[in-house]
């Protein structure tokens, strides 16, 4: 899967400064986010109900759609917020495409893979190679209790500061295929 490129400069070019500033209040508050082809979609609770928002990323200027009144006249804060949400947290956008480990070529793709792969999946893969949680705890210096808490948080889509480093450690051990 190739991540669609979107920058804050693209948003600045189409959005008024005040709407871009207001958009920051909505970042991370979208739900039902998804990517289809070259368009991102999300829903957000606005002042007058739930708004469906979309942003076509590969167009110049960016094409957008929102159900708020402001969007009829200009690029609204909701469309800008959807773009900012994608820039800052692309992993919250569901996609039918999956990024396979052997397809990772960039750091952005690695970050996307880490955010969209459950820690439990990686730990299960480690177990098939004969590396248990106790050994993982010993290698990483993270206690068994902490790993259990991180696993639980990850299953509930809550991110712990050690989640990604732990996933990276798992990936390294899996990819190196160490002898046990």
pLDDT-based confidence at residue 2 (cuts at 50, 70, 90) = low
- Tens digit of pLDDT for each residue in 100-128? 888 888 887 888 788 778 899 999 999 99
In the chain, pLDDT over 90 holds for what percent of residues? 47
Could you check whether the bond before residue 162 is cis, i.e. omega within 30 degrees of 0?
no
Give the model's pLDDT for residue 120. 94
CA 88 from chain centre, in angstroms, equals 8
137 burial (CB, 10 Å; 0-12 / 13-18 / 19+) is middle
pTM value is: 0.64
pLDDT beyond 60 at 19: yes
Please tell me the distance from the alpha carbon of residue 4 to that of residue 40, in angstroms, as a whole number: 9
Judge whether 92 and 30 are in contact, CB under 8 Å: yes
Which of residues 58 and 52 earns the better pLDDT score? 52
Region of 70 (left: φ > 0; alpha: ψ -120 to 50; beta: rest) is alpha
pLDDT at 68 over 70: yes
Q: Residues 75, 84: contact at Cβ < 8 Å?
A: no
């Amino acid at each position: 899967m190739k991540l669609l490129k979107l920058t804050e400069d693209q948003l600045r070019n189409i959005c008024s400064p005040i709407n871009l500033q207001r958009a920051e209040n909505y970042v991370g508050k979208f739900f039902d986010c998804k990517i289809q082809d070259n368009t991102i979609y999300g829903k957000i609770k606005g002042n007058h109900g739930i708004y469906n928002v979309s942003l076509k990323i590969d167009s110049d200027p960016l094409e957008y759609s929102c159900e708020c009144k402001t969007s009829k006249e200009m690029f609204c804060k909701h469309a800008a917020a959807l773009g900012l949400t994608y820039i800052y947290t692309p992993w919250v956008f569901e996609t039918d495409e999956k990024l396979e480990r052997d397809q990772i070529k960039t750091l952005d793709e690695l970050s996307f893979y880490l955010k969209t792969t459950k820690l439990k999946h990686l730990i299960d893969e480690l177990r098939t190679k004969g590396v248990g949680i106790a050994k993982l705890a010993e290698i990483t210096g993270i206690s068994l209790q902490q790993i259990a808490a991180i696993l639980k948080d990850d299953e509930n889509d809550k991110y712990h500061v050690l989640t990604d480093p732990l996933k990276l450690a798992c990936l390294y051990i899996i990819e190196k295929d160490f002898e046990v």
